[in-house]
Chains A and B, each alone.
Chain A
Amino acid sequence: MVFYILRRLLFLPLALFGVSLLVFTMIGFLSPYQRLATFINNPERLKGENVDKLISQYGLDDPIFIQYLRWLKNVFRGNLGWSYVGKGPVFEVILERFPYTLELTIFSVIPIIFLGISLGVISALHHNRVVDHALRIFAVVGWSFPDFVFGLMVLMVFYSALGWFPPGNLSIWAETVVKSPVFRHITGMLTFDALLNGRLDIFWDALRHLLGPIFTLTYVELAFILRITRSSMLEVLQRDYVRTARAKGLSEKVVINKHARRNALIPVATVSGQTVVGLLAGTVIVETIFNRTGLGSFMALAAQQLDYASIMGGTLFFGLILILGNLCVDVSYAFIDPRVRLE
């Protein structure tokens, strides 16, 4: 077990090195002037005739591997350049926005996994009956819905027609409270900060603004978990130990809850981990549509405005998160399913 984790940890720096190389290769497609923007922390210095001098000063015409090492050194110092979109150093902007994305992910994962598993179990228990077919259609349609199409429809119906799920992060009155010095920022996540400050009204307001994105992500992402749960449950229900449990005369409830479902959930745990990691990255569209602050909308905005420093820094950060996330997922399998350890 320890050996397994250690082996995975050994690969971590290698993977990070690879991602940095990939990101740098992409930077290589940019002209020296565009690349300059990924180095300089102060926008004033990028004006006028300074530029040519700066290009040679920063060695942007040096051999590529020297440039790479220099860039890497800057990255390690947390110097990722200046973000026009975020109006600050890229590194700080990312750290400030990441909690918003994390918050949305945490709140979306709960209904996705809970509903996905329960509907999947229901579907399996009604195999090939009306409920099963209805749920399969529900799932495959959700699976086929692009998140921006569904998000736009949610906005149209639930916000502009019904007035339920407002876009943005907070209402104006709550925004003023949050920005005032009285409000302490601890986690950077609005709902948790509101609770820690003892402001239930702000907590409720922040949660209300999260409902639209949560609803959208839930429907679009639910199908995956539902399908895996269903097929895994169907497989487990045919196993000998389930038949034994039935033969022993155990009640159907005990057979399903204790014998079948627990074993059926092992592959679901695998997929759930991937869903969490995917959600963290998949918020680009949803945050943009619902006009929320976050890493995803930051990336979209930076790409639209050709803010190269932000794009590169954001990509590197996403890569880091994904690699660490996948590592956690893999290690947790080893805990859940003892068979993984033996491989």
Chain B
Amino acid sequence: MATVSQSSKLGNVLWPALAWIIALVFFFPIFWLVFTSFKTDADAVKPEFLFFFTPTLDNYTNMTQNYDYWRFAINSVITSSFATLFALVVGVPAAYAMAFNPSRHTKDILMWMLSTKMLPAAAVLYPMTFLTKNILGIYDTHFLVILVLCLINLPIVIWMLFTYFKEIPKEIIEAGKMDGVSTWGEIKDILIPLAWGGIASTALLTFIFCWNEAYWTVRLTTIDAATLSTLIEGNRAPEGLFFGRLAAVSTAAVAPIVILGWFCQKQLVAGLTFGAVK
């Protein structure tokens, strides 16, 4: 018996220690990015300053001058916010209809919506460039980026909302109907207050996906509507000279989203597995 309790005592220390080590290893690259951002470009590549150096904020204060950071950041904020908003405006009524008045085809429609998400973007790269540049004339506009971000996330938005709305008892909505509340009233006064948490986490997650999107935002913009993904991709090869400032601008690009992500990690599971894993 003594050995059993001893080994479990050892296990009580060993397993958590191992868990901590693994977590720190996974977090290390992010830590290193932030750490490097406080070094000067010269110090960042010198082994003697690997861990001990004089920290500086210059990389952050010069970010506007070096990279025009704020222009890209503002574009990211504008496009991600409006795309999220529009996706919700289109998605909430659709998910409401599917959750509370399902027809024979609802399941098929949901499946089909999901399948649009699986189309490889690269397959329609040239047609999209051609359409937006030569025919519609909306290439490199905020409108185009918002539209595309909204469309590529719409299936996930509808799916997530649908999973949340399904949890609401139908009777509550029916009771509203008995009282003669209009459909708009049902959505506004009954559904939205009840599903507020679900709608908020859907919005948060959509915002994160929009912010991190790197295919369409890079391919369909040049200057005017370019987002942070374009900025970073444009500086992909700093030739080792600018590690410090590159680390700073990268930190500024990911920090808000990583922190936002911490708050919605639970919803991520439901959102990305379409409610199939509980």
Q: Do A and B come from one complex?
A: no
B residues touching A (Cβ–Cβ < 8 Å)? none
